[in-house]
Structure 1
């Protein structure tokens, strides 16, 4: 189905009633379509099957966060990074620990606490899942020129950076005491 087959609808802001510009509506629509496609269970199942890594969907971002962290993380830090509740992280860590992908280590700053560290098997699993995902993406974008793919990467990184900066700005505004 052609993604432009239906004209963008102006969406009214729930509080002000102001209509969103059509380009913003289309960006939101495109991001929603990508997010839905990439987070579908079928897509996950295909990717982990190709990678040969039997983990559930919630485990993949957790393993990725640990793989990208320079040091072991506290479960609470993982929850914040993944924007999930701490009990969710605890359950995933337990599953991943049983599978040999992560291990708990003492927290050097607090003898009563533990941190979570990815194991060599976990690093290998992350790389295999990422490689399968990259191959899927390369196959899907095979008709794009290298310049188009590079431009897309630049624009997506810019968008994410701007989204993060805006979220950080709003968080700082929310944290200011009321006058």
Structure 2
């Protein structure tokens, strides 16, 4: 059995997962953009925004942890809406990268501003030291858990 601290933490992690994953947070933030995008399309824009540079389809897919053809279809849809564009890869003139257009950046920034605003409100009463420690430990936990699960996948 897991140690008591982890056992008491589990319901809180599950609740956080539901709040973020089942749409309360993401769906409300997407609605605030007035873009009419669905969650997968917003995920592509989010990945591009966080990268701060154009990416290949395969890199977007890897960051989203989905198959490349799925991302290709998503990119085609948001490209028709003029939220992304294809640009020449400076490393390989034959290849194309996906880049946010100014409109795509605006949509993504509204999305991020909404989410980050809610996070700031939730953490407003926390001392700076607690916020910093929370950020450090959350990143560490997410990285360590993802790495552990990747090892389990390799064993299968």
Report the TM range for the smaller structure's normalisation: 0.7 to 0.9
1:65 pairs with 2:50: no
If asked which structure has higher relative contact order (CA below 8 Å, sep 6+), I would say 2
- Tell me which structure has the larger Cα radius of gyration: 1
Structure 1 position 78, deviation (Å): 1.0
1:35 pairs with 2:17: yes
Structure with the larger helix share: 2
> 1:45 & 1:159 partners in 2: Cα distance?
25
The equivalent residue for 2:31 is 49
Is residue 53–residue 129 contact of structure 1 (8 Å, CA) maintained in 2?
Answer: no
The equivalent residue for 2:140 is 158
1:91-123 Cα shifts (integer Å, max 9, x gaps):
211121122211112334445532211112222
Is residue 105–residue 115 contact of structure 1 (8 Å, CA) maintained in 2?
Answer: yes
Structure 2 gap segments, 5+ residues each: none
Is residue 25–residue 115 contact of structure 2 (8 Å, CA) maintained in 1?
Answer: no
The equivalent residue for 1:23 is 5
TM-score by length of 2: 0.79
Correspondence 1:163-178 to 2 at 5 A: 163-166=145-148, 170=151, 174=154
> 1:152 & 1:161 partners in 2: Cα distance?
14
Is residue 67–residue 123 contact of structure 1 (8 Å, CA) maintained in 2?
Answer: yes
Q: Larger deviation: 137-146 or 126-135?
A: 137-146
- Note the aligned Cα RMSD (angstroms): 2.8
> 1:150 & 1:64 partners in 2: Cα distance?
23
Structure 1 position 131, deviation (Å): 0.7
Is residue 46–residue 108 contact of structure 2 (8 Å, CA) maintained in 1?
Answer: yes
Is residue 51–residue 131 contact of structure 1 (8 Å, CA) maintained in 2?
Answer: no
